């Protein structure tokens, strides 16, 4: 993986500093002008700019594509914030679909929803209502598999909201035990139906999958963390043990040493017995590398023995499509074979849901320091992901767009084309069902990846780590303003030449308007740590 990410420069000279409100107005006017506002959602187009100015951390950068998609994704996201009799929730589809729950809710992408919403200035109130909807309200958090408890812990650390997590600890334990009752096999691993992983018609099918097993290992670790916050050390030990045991089983049984990849052990039913747990004995028709094999990295489940798996990501003979990441390796005989008539399949198309997961796994791998990936690899895939957010209309105009799945080599939105060919059937969700589909994340990848913001908790200290992946040759400048972190407002600016923002060369971090000059400097209880490569003297 030696390809170097090359940004698209918006301008070569510093020029006047742009006014944030004017930038937002310009983007929203464009998005609104191209939008067929079929459904108002939570915040109508007429109020989109006002909402974004109030809620969204301001972001600009030298790469016009990344900047545009950042704002487009927030423009899409606000449509899905819906006020219900049970509080605000975040939806996946804008039109009502029959497979949804109360208020058109679907829990599948709840982890992505929380990851995005935690960066909103009013995100604390939104996430509190959203999480309570799932665990104390009418929401069905068991409908699809998810890593929701892990996402809640990450939110709680960022926004200083242990109270929410601790208050729901009993509900989280109930949730975990219910999934154990429903999905645990005699092998100590969870069984899942690929459709309930929201990955219908996959090549591997149902079985012992890296999806649910990784999610539940992460959820167990999260429950242990919350239990320690609550002073329940015995419960914390129990769930740490569950997480450790599941991690060992994932590494032992779901890792195919010959293929250098985490894979599914096919099993048609939870209570079925396997003749063998050796991948050499798996039906070749279901023995396949799939993008879900990268999920363990996102939750810290992979180690040095698994690094070879990353060699397949940027290889066109495996996962690297011309425009996006394939959900299955292209060299498998059943790749994109359309055996099923279902409009949504996971036998090779690029899914933004999965691309988000893989980028989060890449981020975790880079931060591990093991060396299999670089910041350039992450930025390459982030930009490729951003570039899929378009559609060419019948009149030839290219507009900003987000839908369900697409052909990883042509960029055509597959399910949309199929639904249109069927005449937008009502039983499939009707006209433009997948338009503005909120099934993935993007802004979180900009804030936590490109800009490198994350919070680590150690004892009573809160550490804001700033470790940007876009700096030096990969990005000459960017700024991120007004990020909410534990009751504070954080600004992060990068200026390679020092002639754009008036803050000098390299990285600048401000907490509540006050610049942090030294590594480890504390501002009102938030200790700021600049990763070595992010410090001004070495970032150029």
Q: What is the 3-state secondary structure (H, E, C) of 49-89?
A: HHHHHHHCCEEEECEHHHHHHHHHHHHHHHHHEEEECCEEE
Instruction: Round to whole Å and give the CA distance between 22 and 205.
Output: 49
Query: With contact defined as beta carbons under 8 Å apart, do 410 and 37 qualify?
Result: no
Please tell me the total number of residues recorded for the chain in this structure: 540
Q: Tokens for 469, please give them.
A: 């992946």
* Residue 448: DSSP 8-state: I
Q: Tokens for 161, please give them.
A: 């909201």
In this predicted model, what pLDDT tens digit does every residue of 70-126 receive, in sequence order? 999 999 999 999 999 999 999 999 999 999 999 999 999 999 999 999 999 999 999
pLDDT of residue 402: 98
Alpha helices per DSSP H over 401-506: 414-421, 443-445
| Segments of the chain with pLDDT less than 70 | 1-15, 458-461, 473, 517-526, 531-540
The packing angle between helices 20-34 and 64-77, to 10°, is 70
pLDDT of residue 90: 98
Contacts of 375 (CB under 8 A, 6+ apart): 366, 469, 470, 471, 474
Instruction: Round to whole Å and give the CA distance between 540 and 538.
Output: 6
pLDDT of residue 9: 47
Instruction: Round to whole Å and give the CA distance between 346 and 344.
Output: 7
Give the DSSP letter string of 237-266: HHHHHHHHHHHHHHHHHSEETTTTEE--EE
Query: With contact defined as beta carbons under 8 Å apart, do 94 and 76 qualify?
Result: no
CB atoms within 10 A of CB 113: 27
Closest residue by Cα to residue 324 from 362, 356, 360: 356
Structure-token match 């290219």, residue found: 398
Q: Tokens for 435, please give them.
A: 């338009």
| Helix/strand/coil for 488 | strand
Contacts of 529 (CB under 8 A, 6+ apart): 463, 464, 465, 466, 519, 520
Query: With contact defined as beta carbons under 8 Å apart, do 322 and 278 qualify?
Result: no
pLDDT of residue 507: 92
pLDDT of residue 155: 98
Total-model pTM = 0.95
Q: What is the 3-state secondary structure (H, E, C) of 263-329?
A: CCEECCCCCCCCCCCCHHHCCCCCCCCEHHHHHHHHCCCCCHHHHHHHHHCCCCCCCECCCCECCEC
Beta strands in 159-254 (DSSP E): 207-208
* C-alpha torsion 26→29→35→38, nearest 10: 130
pLDDT of residue 520: 58
Instruction: Round to whole Å and give the CA distance between 92 and 101.
Output: 11
Q: Tokens for 38, please give them.
A: 């079929």
Give the C-alpha distances (Å, rounded to integers) separating 474 from 59, 380, 539: 17, 10, 11
Closest residue by Cα to residue 366 from 380, 381, 376, 353: 376
Query: With contact defined as beta carbons under 8 Å apart, do 314 and 358 qualify?
Result: no
Structure-token match 């975040």, residue found: 90
Give the DSSP letter string of 11-25: -SS--SPPPHHHHHH
Q: Tokens for 162, please give them.
A: 């242990």
Query: With contact defined as beta carbons under 8 Å apart, do 481 and 57 qualify?
Result: yes
């Amino acid at each position: 993986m030696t390809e170097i990410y090359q940004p698209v420069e918006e301008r070569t000279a510093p020029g006047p500093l742009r006014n944030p409100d004017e930038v937002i107005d310009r983007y929203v006017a464009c998005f609104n002008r191209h939008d067929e506002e079929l459904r108002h959602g939570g915040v109508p187009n007429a109020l989109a700019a006002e909402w974004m100015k109030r809620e969204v951390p301001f972001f600009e950068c030298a790469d016009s594509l990344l900047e545009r998609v950042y704002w487009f994704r927030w423009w899409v996201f606000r449509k899905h914030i819906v006020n219900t009799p049970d509080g605000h929730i975040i939806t996946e589809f804008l039109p009502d679909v029959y497979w949804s729950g109360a208020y058109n809710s679907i829990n599948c992408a709840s982890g992505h929803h929380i990851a995005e919403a935690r960066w909103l200035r009013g995100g604390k109130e939104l996430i509190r209502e959203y999480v309570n909807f799932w665990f104390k309200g009418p929401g069905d958090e068991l409908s699809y598999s998810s890593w929701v408890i892990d996402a809640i812990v990450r939110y709680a650390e960022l926004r200083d909201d242990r109270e929410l997590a601790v208050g729901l600890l009993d509900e989280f334990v109930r949730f975990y035990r219910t999934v154990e009752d429903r999905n645990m096999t005699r092998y100590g691993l969870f069984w899942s139906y690929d459709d309930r992983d929201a990955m219908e018609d996959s090549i591997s099918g149902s079985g012992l999958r890296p999806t649910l097993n990784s999610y539940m290992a992460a959820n167990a670790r999260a429950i242990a963390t919350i239990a320690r916050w609550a002073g329940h050390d015995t419960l914390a030990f129990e769930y740490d043990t569950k997480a450790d045991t599941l991690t060992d089983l994932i590494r032992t049984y779901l890792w195919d040493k010959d293929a250098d990849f985490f894979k599914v052990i096919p099993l048609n039913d939870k209570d079925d017995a396997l003749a063998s747990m050796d991948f050499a004995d798996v039906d070749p028709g279901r023995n396949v590398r799939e993008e879900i094999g990268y999920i363990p990295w996102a939750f810290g489940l992979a180690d040095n023995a698994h690094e070879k798996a990353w060699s397949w990501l940027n290889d066109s003979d495996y996962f690297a499509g011309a425009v996006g990441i394939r959900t299955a390796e292209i060299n498998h005989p059943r790749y994109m074979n359309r055996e099923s008539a279902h409009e949504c399949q996971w036998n090779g198309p690029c899914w933004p849901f999965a691309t988000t997961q893989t980028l989060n796994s890449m981020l975790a791998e880079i931060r591990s320091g093991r060396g299999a990936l670089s910041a350039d690899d992450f930025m390459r895939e982030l930009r490729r992901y951003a570039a899929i957010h378009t559609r060419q209309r019948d009149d030839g105009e290219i507009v900003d767009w987000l839908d369900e799945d697409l052909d990883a080599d042509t960029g055509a939105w597959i399910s949309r084309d199929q639904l249109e060919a069927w005449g937008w059937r009502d039983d499939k969700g009707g006209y433009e069902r997948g338009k503005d589909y909120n099934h993935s994340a993007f802004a979180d990848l900009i804030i936590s990846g490109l800009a490198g913001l994350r919070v680590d908790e150690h004892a009573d200290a809160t550490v804001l780590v700033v470790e940007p992946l876009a700096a030096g040759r990969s990005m000459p400048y960017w700024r991120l303003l007004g990020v909410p972190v534990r009751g504070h407002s954080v600004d992060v600016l990068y200026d390679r030449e020092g002639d754009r923002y008036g803050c000098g060369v390299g990285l600048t971090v401000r907490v509540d308007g006050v610049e942090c000059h030294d590594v480890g400097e504390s501002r009102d209880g938030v200790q700021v740590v600049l990763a070595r490569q992010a410090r001004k003297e070495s970032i150029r």
